[in-house]
Every structure is written in C-alpha cells, then in structure tokens.
Amino acid sequence: MSIVLRGLREGDGAPLAVCWKELWDLHESWGGYTTDRDARAFDRVADRLDRDAVARRSEVAYGSHLHLVAEVDGRVVGQVEGWLDRMGVHPRTKTVCEIRSLVVRSDVRNLGVARKLLDRLALEADRAAHESCVAIAEVLEANPAMSFYEKLGFRPVAWTKRLTGTSFHEIELKLGDAPARATVRRSRAGDENAIARLEARLAERRRRGNDARYDPPQPLEAAWLGLLRDVLTTEDPLTPQPFVAATPDGNALATAQFWMQELEPPFFPQARAIASRLECFDNDEAYRTAQLLCRGLLRLARRAGASAIEFVDLPPPAARLSQALESMGIPAWSRIMQRP
C-alpha cells in the first residue's frame, strides 16, 4: 500500500467533494451545521476546488491557506486544510495553524493516513510561517475523533457552548424574573479600566490553560488603556462589538464581544452569532451579571435573525464561568484541541 501526500491538483475536485460530503454529513449527525440540501452544492464545491488548484499550481501553501491531499494506491482518499493566523501581537506569541476539514474515506481509515496528513501539515505550516506553529483543531463534543486527536498529543485549551435559535426565547424567559440590577450595553469610553482588568483575567486564564494562541497578560499601562479606549469607541460594523454588563452606577462587571457571521457553502446559508472574550470578575454578583450579559447577547442574536449563537473560547466545564452558562441551559458543543 502506498500513501502519497501532495498539493491540490486540477481533477481533485470531484473525489474531494465526495470526501467533503462524507465529512459534513457526519458533522451534521454530531450536531454540526446543516449542509445545503441542494444536490448541486457539492458540485459547486468540486468546481471551486478545481479552480483553486489552477491558481495554486499544486503548491501546498497559498498565502495563509494550506491544502494537502492524500492518495492511497493512486486514489484520492482524504485531505486536510490549514489556515495560518496570528492571534496576538506579542513577539513570543506564535503563529497558529488551524486544522480544518480533515477527513479520510471510511474504507481506508486506521492505516495512518490522517496522522501523516497532520505531521506533514505541521511541517508545511512551519515552513510557510518561518517559525514553529501551534496546531489547533475545533472538534465537536460528539465526534469520536476527539480520542484520535488526544492520541496525537492534542489537548483541549478552550471550550464552546452553542444554543440554537429555537431555544433562545426559552432561555431568555428563564432569567426573565431575575432582579435586573445590571444593564447590558455597548461598551463606551470610561469602561476601559474595567475591561483592561477583565482582559488581564482572560489572558491569565488562557495562560493557566496552556492556550498558546494569545498574548500573555498586558501590564495596565496608560498606552494600553488609551488603545483600548479607541477600540471601544470605534464604530466599525465589520469588527466584533464589545459589550458589557454594568451596575446601575456604571461599573462593568462582565464583558464579551459579539458579531454575526454568514455560513458559507456547502453549509445551508444562514447567519450565526458569535460571542467571544467572555469574562467577569470573580464574585457571585459578577457571575450573575455574566448570565444577564449572555441573555442580552441572545436577544441581539434573535433580533439579528441568527440561527444559533456560539459562546467561544470558554474555560473548562468545571470553571465557574462555564457553570454559569451551563445553569442557563446553554449546552456544550465543541473544544479547541491544541498541539504546541
């Protein structure tokens, strides 16, 4: 048996679209996004891959995108993509290679193809980024591949919870009779001190959890506070919007960023809401306030027509912040697995 790994070539579109379909059908069965039921959706995927192949001229790396195809005995049986990104600005913060759409056809599994794909992807990522990258993959809680990643040395560093639109209202009502001591609003100038302290807490939590994607905690200096103030007062609809939940006298106790994203083919076209950088101070009132903030974001998501909201980059399930969301009835959805 010969296993060959190579860049994408014209003609790979059709066999890879079959792999994609296998992957996304499984993904959907584990609670992932709904794929487009239009029979031509995967034909369009095949066309796009073939056009892509022409542009990349069989190179594995094309800008920040890496694409590897696996052949067993001359037949295309699998693939993996990697997206390079830097999530921080600190010189010690490494480039991240986000593993996406890893799949091996079911009749050739357990032959070491995926292991080879990920090892080669790591080499190609390091070469393209000119440094040793951090590999990450988002894995749905229900996906049996979680143990596969563990076997290859990946460990969870962040968790996602997700609520579909059909449950928004139920959860909003659940917290409805809570005393509304907090106001949920867009952050504004004046919040920067509290947000900077919450950001430091978030960075500290990521460091404790060995999440190597982000910058270490920033010292609370005037320049950093000024920069933060500028970010808080920028009205750019394309960047994530920072929100806070604050006491009636204006003290922010919890913060999160919120934005909307359209799902791309082959997924069924729909908008999802994303809430990230959720953090609160460590006291009972702050956790309660974080729940009210989440409810506020649910409302925003509902009004914006989101099919679901994802709370990303959360601490482990036993952490108080995750428990606060759990007790609202927001279920666990995926984990970010990382290999340093």
Ligand X SMILES: CC(C)(COP(=O)(O)OP(=O)(O)OC[C@H]1O[C@@H](n2cnc3c(N)ncnc32)[C@H](O)[C@@H]1OP(=O)(O)O)[C@@H](O)C(=O)NCCC(=O)NCCS
**In terms of C-beta density within 10 A (0-12 exposed, 13-18 middle, 19 or more buried), how is residue 276 classed?**
middle
Of 104 and 171, CB closest to ligand X: 104
Choose which of 104, 163, 321, 336 interacts with ligand X (CB under 6 A).
104
Q: Does 112 bind ligand X (CB under 6 A)?
A: yes
Min CB(151)–ligand X separation in Å: 4
Angle among Cα 32, 103, 28 to the nearest 5 degrees reads: 15
Choose which of 39, 74, 110, 236 interacts with ligand X (CB under 6 A).
110
Stretch that binds ligand X, among 100-108, 174-182, 257-265, 311-319 (CB under 6 A): 100-108
| Residue 74 backbone class (left: φ over 0; alpha: ψ -120 to 50; beta: rest) | left
Choose which of 8, 16, 102, 133 interacts with ligand X (CB under 6 A).
102
Amino acid making up residue 51 = R
Min CB(147)–ligand X separation in Å: 4
Min CB(145)–ligand X separation in Å: 4
Of 28 and 172, CB closest to ligand X: 28
Label the pairing between strands 3-6 and 65-72.
antiparallel
8 near 80, Cβ under 8 Å?
no
Of 83 and 224, CB closest to ligand X: 83
Rounded distance between C-alpha atoms, residue 311 and residue 319, angstroms: 15
Of 99 and 300, CB closest to ligand X: 99
Which of positions 20-39 make contact with ligand X (CB under 6 A)?
23, 26
92 near 86, Cβ under 8 Å?
no
Rounded distance between C-alpha atoms, residue 279 and residue 298, angstroms: 16
Amino acid making up residue 70 = A
Amino acid making up residue 43 = D
For residue 303 the two structure tokens come to 């009004």
Which residues of the chain form beta strands (DSSP E)?
Answer: 3-6, 61-62, 65-72, 75-85, 96-104, 134-140, 155-164, 183-186, 241-246, 252-262, 271-280, 308-314, 332-339
Q: Does 202 bind ligand X (CB under 6 A)?
A: no
Min CB(223)–ligand X separation in Å: 40
Rounded distance between C-alpha atoms, residue 109 and residue 123, angstroms: 22
Q: Does 111 bind ligand X (CB under 6 A)?
A: yes
Min CB(229)–ligand X separation in Å: 39
256 near 297, Cβ under 8 Å?
yes
Of 104 and 203, CB closest to ligand X: 104
Choose which of 65, 109, 155, 299 interacts with ligand X (CB under 6 A).
109
Q: Does 336 bind ligand X (CB under 6 A)?
A: no
Give how many residues touch ligand X by CB under 6 A: 20
Of 29 and 239, CB closest to ligand X: 29
For residue 337 the two structure tokens come to 């697995």
Q: Does 103 bind ligand X (CB under 6 A)?
A: yes
Min CB(16)–ligand X separation in Å: 13
Total count of residues recorded for the chain: 340
Which of positions 136-155 make contact with ligand X (CB under 6 A)?
137, 139, 143-145, 147-148, 151
Residues binding ligand X (CB under 6 A): 23, 26, 102-104, 109-115, 137, 139, 143-145, 147-148, 151
